[in-house]
Structure 1
Amino acid sequence: MVTVLLIEDDHQVRRGLELALGQYGYTVRGAATGADGIREFATVAVDVVILDIMLPGVDGFEVCRRLRSDSSVPIVMLTARDDDIDIVVGLEAGADDYVCKPVQPRVLDARIKAVLRRGPTARADARKDEPANHAGLVIDAESLVVTRDGTPVALTPTELRLLLELSAAPTRVFTRLQLLESVWGHHYLGDSRLVDNCVQRVRAKIENNPATPVFVQTVRGFGYRFGPV
């Protein structure tokens, strides 16, 4: 059974989501503050974190950064409004996805399932090929291990899924919409922020100089492709 850590300070919202997610078959652990959520995360094995941005004390952005510093667990952030700044900062902090309030339980269930499909157990999507060596960047799509000049690269499930998608077809240009559908699992009405922020995080981990990327290249006006070409 999938265990969800729900960090939400509004008691009514938290209780409503706990009940709804329970009906969808999840085990839900609740926390009312960022500090409580961090402590809960350290003591309980969870499969996904649902994290509100507006929390008392330690806010959701800082909670996300702390969890992401030593864990690749999927994180879905909750934002009270479709605010560009909140969304972008949350994604830059390491969130995999976001849902705007008021939250529809069926939408949240779909997002949870989508982020879990990107995890290391989703081996049906891995290509059964020998590890590919791209100028020192080695991508093993079967074992889901990435190394750079012999050093393991720690990628979140979403980052790994994006890299696998791009590297499976070197030199092919993928539009942001294509990547949204193939990596995030469903249509996001053209919200390219998910793709762009994930690309930035991947570049920071695999490129010698993220400002002049060799592997994940921007094709202006179209999208991204995998190099070197």
Structure 2
Amino acid sequence: MGTRLLTVLPFFLLLGFWTSLGAQQQDWTSLHSEVLGLLVDVKIYGAGSNRSEKPIVYLTDGKKLLDNGAMDTILDLTRKGMIPEATYVLVSTINRASEKDLRNQFFFCNPDYLRFFETELIPFSEAKHGGLRTPSERSLVGISFGGLNAAYFSAMTDLFGNYALLSPVTYPCKDVIADISFSASKELKIVLSTGKNDAERYVDELEGIYKSKGHTLSTIETNGQHDFENWNGQWKHVLGFLLTK
């Protein structure tokens, strides 16, 4: 049953231990993907203690989230004990060599991008951070078209038990609602969010289909817009919901 909350609104290099934020930060790593035929930049943060078996959260649009303060907010919430500890994997859509943004190529219901996560990114990331997680210990967060990608993943893979679709926009992939309808995925935890003049009609459709599948939902409605100020105000609820058993 959904709840509605009204709010206003050889590679890794350890750079250091941020004692004030309780975070281990690693530099951007260029992961060569044979599936995609290109390099994908990945950055990992351990928020909280040094415990290696923490749940893990994958964030697409990772560079944009970082550049717009998302990790500052997440780390501060973790330090204050307002959200559970977790490891965060930021996955960039920006090709560093060409500076081209590949988010449309990645996010529009792309089976190769899903296979990249399944066979390359997840094994690579989790091998260094406590080993492979169970689906219930693994979350995927996407914003805007990244929410479309998360919706597609929720239908097509059982790797993730938890999803956040922040202001999802689904029109580029006409089949995603049907994919969810006929999916074998069960017992997912899903956050959906929308702001004023944002993605209401997409959220309403997704909420209806996820409810019909019996998943556990939390829907956030804000007075914000389709922007990072809006999304950065949602992390406490989003991550608290996804990471609390």
Common fold, TM-score beyond 0.5? Answer: no
Give the TM bin, normalised by the shorter chain: 0.3 to 0.5
Q: TM-score, normalised by structure 2?
A: 0.36
Task: Give 1 or 2: higher strand fraction.
Answer: 2
